[in-house]
Amino acid sequence: MNQRNWSSSEWLLLAAAPTMVAMLAASGFLVCRWRKRASSQQGETNSKLASSSTRDEAPKRAVWAAIELGGTTARAAIAIDTPDQIIERFQVPTSTPVETLTLLAAWLAEKHGVQPITSLGVATFGPILLQHTSPCKN
């Protein structure tokens, strides 16, 4: 039986990503909202959206978060409105999965303010084969 040699980024992602997502979800950091926008051309209205906003509230802006898990450095970024409008970046040396992801999650939680993050992307480098029977395995 061949033993799998995991790269540090594979190990970091596989070992800690589920924990990070659970931590973020439990803290209210991740807000999943799938809304169908009303089409003004068809005369549709969305009473849920209309009732949740008032004239005094600031318009909601899309907040994008990104995490990159590298073998030596882990990075995070926050963007407003569109993914290319990055307002702040953060990086830490990759250490243990719990330590690295805790630092990234804490930074994102601090930087996102009161408005929830509407999209979160996680990237890692190197092949990740979750199926050990994959024909793509070397």
- Show me where the domains of the chain are located: 62-127
Token pair 């799998």 is found at: 4
Q: What is the pLDDT confidence band of residue 114, given thresholds at 50, 70 and 90?
A: low
Q: What is the pLDDT confidence band of residue 1, given thresholds at 50, 70 and 90?
A: very low
Q: What is the pLDDT confidence band of residue 92, given thresholds at 50, 70 and 90?
A: very high
The DSSP string of 14-30 is HHHHHHHHHHHHHTT-B
Average pLDDT over residues 109-128: 77
Q: What is the pLDDT confidence band of residue 93, given thresholds at 50, 70 and 90?
A: very high
DSSP state of 134: -
Helix (H, G, I), strand (E, B) or coil at 27: coil
Q: Is residue 71 within 8 Å of 94, Cβ to Cβ?
A: yes
Q: What is the pLDDT confidence band of residue 74, given thresholds at 50, 70 and 90?
A: very high
Q: What is the pLDDT confidence band of residue 116, given thresholds at 50, 70 and 90?
A: confident
pTM: 0.52
CATH of region 62-127: 3.30.420.40
Average pLDDT over residues 112-122: 79
Predicted local distance difference test score (pLDDT) of residue 96: 85
Predicted local distance difference test score (pLDDT) of residue 45: 39
Evaluate if residue 75 carries a pLDDT over 90: yes
